[in-house]
């Protein structure tokens, strides 16, 4: 049946079509949609779950595959770093049932985290990697990946990039195929499933290499990497890898129509193209044919020049003497996502030896004149984290320090938004759970001021626990703030171990309070972040203590989720008579439910403030505040702060900041 | 085959993704090859959103290059500036002049562009620009019609999209998807279609 799907959904549908039995993963943009889609379906005889982290997810999938079933594990590129410890070991052991690792990379960094190229991991693990160009191709390639995995006994990667994972297009998808009805394989083979001794490990290394060779033979046999040779030898050869394949034809046509390709009228007909679907194993034979047919080679691949290096090695070894254009000669950048512009740039360089100005990015629209207003991301209206950030700020001040001398480490997820205005509180963001380890490093470095580690619930379960155990064991004086909103929120509200039982779908909740106490946190404060005073008190006590780990568990469900279920905390209202428009509520909370009808200052005038930090002191608030000016179109004048009743959930966090009592809160009935 | 490469920009919460989704669905139903590629930030609401759509194009990637869009739609005044670089020299620019201000602008610490500044930059890029005033949005039973459907109407009425896709089919699609909101949606779509005439 033809239907509209995203790349992520196509991966899910392809796996179902391949009879997958077990699918595990951890949420991470842009890969999340695959398991999200599976979880909307009724799938008898299969198991789909969000696991605690990617390593656990991969181990579960591997166990199922060792037992003979088809299994898939999904993650974003950062998750592959987590899974990799288990992954490389299992790569050396091989698999029985088809084992597919779906990883989504993010060139261009639309979702944060390192702009890493996961193809490097496939090379290091010597596992085949398939890269679709579209959702439709993803659907088919996932099935090919399972087949390849079982034919060779090798786990197989399927890699998508953001644009393909998230874009939607028509896909022809068949009916799902139920998993095989087999008894799980129980095979006791030390030489295969353990690393007990050098001989075993080296035999496994040999087997790994031979599996990749068999994979190369299979890939060649089914013709995954297509080679289109031109009629005339000696022309340009393009090696187009993965998602970039989509832009080659379009860029060639554009280059010809706009006259930047000053070759003859037959310029396009003498272009040969190798479409690389498998960067690993590198398609040596097809590339060899391309080299012997062409005089110049253009390698088009996003991020690192992995394939390009292979082309150079092959060219060198075969004595080929042409020119290779790509990243290594400086034509193209390893940074960012590739589209038609980058391909045109490469074409121009390959054709003419130089890149004409018309092909340089942004030349037509050099940044000048009016710029768009910046929209720093902040937490949502009613977000409980807002209360935690405000309390940390207040506690630092009350304990006698300034924000500039207290290290507050940050972590992955919504909690990292504390780095942005108006809080400007967090100093760093590394990887899942790193806030806890980094904080200990700052203590060990001899910092005399308090050190605070902040982390969200899912992130803590995922990677924060080992760091905390270390801190407890070594009696590290630091304050851990676990911001528990009950959901893996930033990736779109997935269930995590701490989510309420009602949403566990047969699973059970793991209570963070018990976990913290069980690990040995003796000084634990469980607080409600909507209770600014109570949360601040707890934090001040932590900051004033000098030995051992203290922890604050700030608990309150994600406002988005609560609101979706119709849960309201209260009602916040503004008295327009009492509001003097000092904007302090807005400055302190940055809440998106608060606004002024006034929207701009006049063009050309200088900003009147020095950031949201301005006017922290109540006394200065009224005198420093900018008077309401004319609205954008000069038509209206503000009389008071406005509360967007649709967005406001009545958390009341803005109320204590109003110097005139214009904001009032009452509890929901 | 006729085709139209479209870039839509706006702010999360304005229904930009829904416009793209409806166009994709209408294309799918009409057997017009199409792809839809969203870019959105991490914020639930209030963050920049972009959609790239390739209508009537087969065998092309989801992204549109600089200077590659036949049609750019700015759903929000300031965000519209980010769409300009995608416009073809003779392309059409539709600006829906909604102002979704920023906290920095409200506090007077960040600039926010005026309509004149934005339209000047658009007119420098193309002779074909259309500015829609949010005040023109019709009301149905005392409630303002949805602005994204109004803009969708303008897309159908003021660009080649109206020749690629049947506006009547889009109207039926709206009625199917939100039967309870059929009246305001149809009113908005038709008002958008007639806008600026």
Residue count of chain A, please give it: 669
Instruction: Dump the DSSP string for chain B.
Output: ---EEEEEEEETTSSHHHHHHHHHHHHHHTT--EEEEEEE-S-SSSSEEEEEEEET--S--S---TT-EEEEEESSHHHHHHHGGGEEEEEEEEEE------HHHHTTSS----HHHHHHHHHHH-SEEEEE-GGG--EETTEEPPHHHHHHHHHHHHSTHHHHS-HHHHHHHHHHH-GGGHHHHHHHHHHHHHTT-
In a domain, B105, yes or no: no
Mean pLDDT of chain A: 91
In a 13 Å sphere around the CA of A170, the CA atoms on its Cβ side amount to 20
Q: Give the pLDDT confidence score for residue A494 in this predicted structure.
A: 96
Q: What is the pLDDT of residues A314-339, one digit of tens each?
A: 999 999 999 999 999 999 999 999 99
Answer yes or no: do B65 and A341 touch at CB < 8 A. Answer: yes
pLDDT (0 to 100) of residue A635: 39
Q: What percent of chain B has pLDDT over 90?
A: 84
Closest residue of chain A to B80, computed from CA coordinates: A372
Q: What is the mean pLDDT of residues B93-106?
A: 93
Q: How far apart are the C-alpha atoms of B78 and B84, rounded to whole Å?
A: 11
Q: Is A253 on the interface with B (CB under 8 A)?
A: no
Q: What does the block give as tokens for A661?
A: 């009592």
> A354 pLDDT band (50/70/90 cuts)?
low
pLDDT at A513 over 70: yes
The pLDDT value recorded for residue A621 is 34
Answer whether A163 sits within 8 Å of B37, measured CB to CB: yes
- Tell me whether residue B180 is in a domain: yes
Cβ contact, residue pair A380, B43, below 8 Å: yes
Best interface-test mutation with B: which of A242, A563, A581, A600 has the largest number of B CBs within 10 A? A600
Subunit contact B61:A590, Cβ cutoff 8 A: no
* DSSP for residue A247: G
Contact B42 A250 (CB under 8 A): no
Would you say residue B106 lies in a domain?
no
CB of A607 within 8 Å of any CB in chain B? yes
pLDDT at position A606 is: 36
**Which of A247, A378, A614 is facing B61, going by the closest CB pair?**
A247
The helix (run of H) or strand (run of E) holding residue A206 is helix A198-222
What ipTM does this complex have?
Answer: 0.96
Residue B166 belongs to domain with CATH number = 3.40.920.10
CA-based nearest distance A179→chain B, Å: 31
Residue A494 phi, psi (nearest 5) = -95, 155
Q: What is the pLDDT of residues B54-70, one digit of tens each?
A: 999 998 999 999 999 99
Which of A106, A372, A382, A488 to substitute to test the interface with B, most B CBs within 10 Å? A372
Chain A residues whose beta carbon lies within 8 Å of the beta carbon of residue B36: 167-169
Interface of A with B in 490-509 (CB under 8 A): 490
| Cβ contact A169–B35 (<8 Å) | yes
Residues 6+ apart with CB under 8 A from A528: A384, A387, A534, A535, A554, A555, A556
Is B162 inside any structural domain? yes
Q: pLDDT tens, A132-147?
A: 999 999 999 999 999 9
Alpha carbon of B66: minimum distance to chain A alpha carbons (Å): 7
CA distances from residue A98 to A144, A149, A508, A619 in whole angstroms, order as listed? 10, 5, 30, 68
pLDDT of residue B167: 93
Q: How confident is the model at residue B1 (pLDDT cuts 50, 70, 90)?
A: confident
Q: What is the pLDDT of residue A597?
A: 67
Question: With contacts defined as CB-CB under 8 Å, which chain A residues touch B43?
Answer: 375, 377-378, 380
Rounded distance between C-alpha atoms, residue B51 and residue A258, angstroms:
26
Render pLDDT for A199-231 as a digit per residue (tens, 0 to 9).
Answer: 999 999 999 999 999 999 999 999 999 999 999
pLDDT at residue A37 greater than cutoff 90 = yes
Inter-chain residue contact B108 with A250, CB threshold 8 Å: no
Tell me the average pLDDT of chain B: 93
Residue A197, chain B, CB below 8 Å: the answer is no
Domain(s) of CATH 3.30.70: residues in chain A: 568-669
Lowest-confidence region among A168-172, A313-317, A481-485, B44-48: B44-48
Quick one: how many helices (H) and strands (E) in chain A? 22, 22
B109 domain residue, yes or no? no
**DSSP per-residue codes, B29-67:** HTT--EEEEEEE-S-SSSSEEEEEEEET--S--S---TT
Residues A181-198 pLDDT 10s? 999 999 999 999 999 999
Q: Which residue has the higher pLDDT, A601 or A131?
A: A131
Q: Is residue B130 part of a domain?
A: yes
Contact A373 B113 (CB under 8 A): yes
Establish how many alpha carbons lie within 13 A of residue A310's alpha carbon, considering only the half-sphere containing its beta carbon: 22
Torsion over CA of B67, B71, B74 and B78, rounded to 10 degrees?
20
Q: Which residues of A535-557 are buried (b: 16+ CB within 10 A; e: fewer)?
A: bbbbbbbbbeeeebbbbbbbbbb
Burial of A452 (0-12, 13-18, 19+ CB in 10 A): buried
Residue A111 has a pLDDT of 84
pLDDT of A638 strictly over 80: no
Tell me how far apart the alpha carbons of residues A310 and A277 are, in angstroms, rounded to a whole number: 15
Partner-chain residue, chosen from B33, B101, B118, that has the shortest CB–CB distance to A595: B101
pLDDT(A353) > 70? no
B107 chain-A contacts, CB cut-off 8 A? 583, 586-587, 609, 612, 614, 626
Name the residue with tokens 């299969």.
A46
Q: In this model, does residue A26 exceed pLDDT 60?
A: yes
Check A243 against B39: CB less than 8 A apart.
no
| A interface test, pick of B14, B65, B72 with most A CB neighbours within 10 Å | B65
Confidence at residue A217, expressed as pLDDT on a 0 to 100 scale: 98
More confident residue, B190 or A613: B190
Residue A625 has pLDDT above 60, yes or no: no
Residues B22-43 have pLDDT tens digits of 999 999 999 999 999 999 876 6
Residue A368 reports pLDDT greater than 80: no
Residue range(s) occupied by CATH 3.40.50.920 in chain A? 226-359
Residue B110 resides in a domain = no
- Say yes or no: A170 contacts chain B, CB-CB below 8 A: yes
pLDDT for res A626: 36
Distance of residue B52 Cα from the nearest chain A Cα, in angstroms:
9
* Residue B115 pLDDT: 97
Taking the Cβ of residue A544 and every Cβ of chain B, the question of whether any pair is shorter than 8 Å is answered with no
Q: Which of B68, B81, B104 sits opposite A370 (nearest CB)?
A: B81
In chain A, positions 100-119, which contact chain B (CB-CB < 8 Å)? 110-112
Q: Judge whether B41 lies within some domain.
A: yes
Residue A265: per-residue pLDDT:
40
- For CATH 3.40.50.970, the residue range(s) in chain A are 2-221, 384-564
Tokens matching residue A18: 């391949």
Contact with chain B for residue A422, Cβ under 8 A? yes
Helix axes B182-194, B147-158, angle to 10 degrees: 40
* Residue A550 confidence class, pLDDT cut points 50, 70, 90: very high
Q: Is the pLDDT of residue A620 over 60?
A: no
Q: Please, how many CA atoms are within 13 Å of residue A568, restricted to the half-sphere of its CB?
A: 14
Picking from A590, A569, A564, the residue whose alpha carbon sits closest to that of residue A651 is A569
A374/B25 CB distance under 8 A:
no
Residue A264 pLDDT greater than 60, yes or no: no
> How large a percentage of chain A has pLDDT more than 70?
90
DSSP state of A488: B
Interface of A with B in 585-604 (CB under 8 A): 586-587, 590, 592, 595-596, 598-601, 603
Q: Tell me if chain B has a CB within 8 Å of the CB of A518.
A: no
Q: What is the second-level CATH architecture of the domain A568-669?
A: 2-Layer Sandwich (3.30)
Count structural domains, chain B.
1
Predicted confidence band of residue B142 (pLDDT cuts 50, 70, 90): confident
Q: Which residues contact A367 (CB under 8 A, 6 or more apart)?
A: none
Instruction: Check CB contact of A380 with chain B, cutoff 8 Å.
Output: yes
What is the extent of the structural domain holding B89? Answer: 4-100+115-194
Residue numbers in B near A608 (CB within 8 A): 108-109
* In the predicted structure, residue A163 carries a pLDDT above the cut 80: yes
Put simply, the answer to whether A371 touches B62 (Cβ < 8 Å) is no
- Looking at residue A25, its pLDDT comes to 98
pLDDT mean over A351-370: 58
**A636 Cβ under 8 Å from any chain B Cβ:** no
pLDDT above 70 (res A479): yes
Q: How far is A608 from chain B (nearest CA, A)?
A: 6
Q: What is the predicted pLDDT for the residue at A359?
A: 52
Res. A382 pLDDT band, cuts 50 70 90: very high
pLDDT at A608: 39
pLDDT recorded at residue A348? 93
String of DSSP letters for A499-548: S-GGGSTT-----HHHHHHHHT--EEEEE-TT-HHHHHHHHHHHHH--SS
Indicate the fold that domain A226-359 takes in CATH. Rossmann fold (3.40.50)
Q: Tokens 């001021």 — which residue? A: A449
Q: Quick one: closest CA in B to A626, which residue? A: B108
**For residue A376, what is the nearest residue in chain B, using CA coordinates?**
B47
CA distance A483 to A379: 13
User: Residue A633 — very low, low, confident or very high, per pLDDT cuts 50/70/90?
Assistant: very low
Q: Which CATH number fits domain A384-564: 1.20.58.220, 3.40.50.970, 3.90.550.10, 1.10.10.10?
A: 3.40.50.970
Interchain proximity A612–B103, CB inside 8 Å: yes
Q: What is the pLDDT of residue A612?
A: 36
From residue A166, how far is each of A106, A135, A460, B3 by CA, in Å? 11, 9, 27, 22
Pick the CATH number of A2-221 from 3.40.50.720, 3.40.50.300, 3.30.1330.50, 3.40.50.970: 3.40.50.970
Return the number of CB contacts < 8 Å for A and B. Answer: 185
C-beta atoms of A111 and B42 within 8 A:
yes
Contact between chains at B42 and A380 (C-beta distance less than 8 A): no
Cβ of A340 within 8 Å of Cβ of B79? The answer is: no
What is the pLDDT averaged over residues A526-537? 98
* pLDDT tens figures, A69-127: 999 999 999 999 999 999 999 999 999 999 999 999 999 998 889 999 999 999 999 99
> With bands split at pLDDT 50, 70 and 90, how would you rate the model's confidence at A637?
low
């Amino acid at each position: 049946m033809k239907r509209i799907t995203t790349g992520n959904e196509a991966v899910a549908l392809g796996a179902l079509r391949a009879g997958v039995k077990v699918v595990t993963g951890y949420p991470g943009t842009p890969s999340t949609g695959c398991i999200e889609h599976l979880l909307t379906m009724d799938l008898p005889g299969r198991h789909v779950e969000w696991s605690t982290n990617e390593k656990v997810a991969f181990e579960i999938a591997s166990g199922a595959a060792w037992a003979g079933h088809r299994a898939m594990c999904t993650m974003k590129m950062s998750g592959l770093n987590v899974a990799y410890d288990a992954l490389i070991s299992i790569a050396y052991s091989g698999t029985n049932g088809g084992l597919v690792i779906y990883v989504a990379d993010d060139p261009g960094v639309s979702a944060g985290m390192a702009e890493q190229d996961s193809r490097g991991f496939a090379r290091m693990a010597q596992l085949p990697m398939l890269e679709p160009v579209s959702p439709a191709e993803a659907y088919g390639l996932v099935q090919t990946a399972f087949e390849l995995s079982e034919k060779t006994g090798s786990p197989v990667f399927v890699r998508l990039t953001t644009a393909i994972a998230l874009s939607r297009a028509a896909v022809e998808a068949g009916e799902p195929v139920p998993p095989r009805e087999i008894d799980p394989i129980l095979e006791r083979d030390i030489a295969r499933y353990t690393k007990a001794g050098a001989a075993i490990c080296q035999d496994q290394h040999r087997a790994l290499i031979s599996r990749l060779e068999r994979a190369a033979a299979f890939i060649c046999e089914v013709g995954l990497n297509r080679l289109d040779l031109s009629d005339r030898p000696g022309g340009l050869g393009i090696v187009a890898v993965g998602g970039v394949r989509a832009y080659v034809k379009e860029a060639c046509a554009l280059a010809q129509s706009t006259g930047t390709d000053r070759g003859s009228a037959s310029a396009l007909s003498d272009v040969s193209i190798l479409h690389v679907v498998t960067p690993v194993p590198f398609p040596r034979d097809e590339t060899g044919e391309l080299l012997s047919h062409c005089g110049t080679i253009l390698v088009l691949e996003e991020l690192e020049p992995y394939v390009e290096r292979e082309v150079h090695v092959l060219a060198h070894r075969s004595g080929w003497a042409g020119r290779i254009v790509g990243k290594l000669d400086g034509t193209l950048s390893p940074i960012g996502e590739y589209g038609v512009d980058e391909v045109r740039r490469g074409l121009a360089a390959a054709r003419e030896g130089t890149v004409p100005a018309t092909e340089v990015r942004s030349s037509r629209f050099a940044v000048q004149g009016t710029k768009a207003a910046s929209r720093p991301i902040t937490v949502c209206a009613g977000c409980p984290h807002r209360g935690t950030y405000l309390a940390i700020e207040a506690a630092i001040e009350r304990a006698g320090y300034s924000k500039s001398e207290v290290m507050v480490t940050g972590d992955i997820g919504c909690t990292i938004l504390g780095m942005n205005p108006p809080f400007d509180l967090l100093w760093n963001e590394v990887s899942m759970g790193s806030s806890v380890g980094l904080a200990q490093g700052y203590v060990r470095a001899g910092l005399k001021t308090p050190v605070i580690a902040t982390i969200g619930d899912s992130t803590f379960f995922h990677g924060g626990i080992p760091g905390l155990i270390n801190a407890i064991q070594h009696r590290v004086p630091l304050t851990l703030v676990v911001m528990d909103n009950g959901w893996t929120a930033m990736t779109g509200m997935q269930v995590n171990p701490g989510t309420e039982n009602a949403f566990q779908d047969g699973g059970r909740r793991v209570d963070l309070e018990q976990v913290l106490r069980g690990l040995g946190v003796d000084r634990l404060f469980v607080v409600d972040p909507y209770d600014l005073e109570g949360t601040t008190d707890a934090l001040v006590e932590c900051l004033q203590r000098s030995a051992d780990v203290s922890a604050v568990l700030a608990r309150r469900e994600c406002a988005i989720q609560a609101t979706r279920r119709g849960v309201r905390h209260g009602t916040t209202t503004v008295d327009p008579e009492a509001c003097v428009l000092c904007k302090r509520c807005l400055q302190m909370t940055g809440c998106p439910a608060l606004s002024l009808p006034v929207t701009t200052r006049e063009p050309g005038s200088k900003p009147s403030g020095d950031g949201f930090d301005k006017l922290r002191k109540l006394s200065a608030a009224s005198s420093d505040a900018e008077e309401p000016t004319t609205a954008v179109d000069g038509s209206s004048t503000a009389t008071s702060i406005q509360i967007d009743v649709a967005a406001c959930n009545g958390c009341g966090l803005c109320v204590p900041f109003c110097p005139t009592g214009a904001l009032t809160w009452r509890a929901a009935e | 085959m006729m085709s139209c490469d479209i870039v839509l920009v706006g702010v999360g919460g304005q229904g930009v993704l829904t416009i793209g989704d409806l166009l994709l669905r209408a294309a799918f139903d009409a057997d017009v090859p199409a792809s839809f590629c969203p870019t959105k930030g991490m914020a639930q609401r209030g963050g920049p959103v972009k959609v790239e759509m390739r209508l009537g194009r087969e065998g092309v990637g989801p992204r549109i290059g600089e200077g590659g869009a036949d049609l750019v739609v700015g759903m929000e005044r300031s965000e519209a500036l980010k769409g300009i670089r995608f416009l073809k020299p003779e392309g059409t620019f539709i600006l829906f002049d909604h102002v979704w201000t920023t906290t920095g602008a409200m506090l007077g610490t960040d600039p926010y562009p005026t309509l004149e500044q934005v339209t000047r930059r658009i007119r420098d890029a193309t002779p074909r620009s259309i500015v829609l005033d949010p005040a023109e949005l019709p009301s149905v039973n005392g409630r303002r019609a949805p602005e994204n459907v109004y803009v969708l109407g303008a897309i159908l009425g003021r660009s080649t999209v109206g020749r690629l896709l049947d506006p009547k089919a889009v109207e039926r699609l709206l009625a199917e998807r939100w039967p309870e909101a059929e009246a305001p949606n149809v009113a908005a779509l038709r008002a958008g279609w007639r806008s600026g005439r």
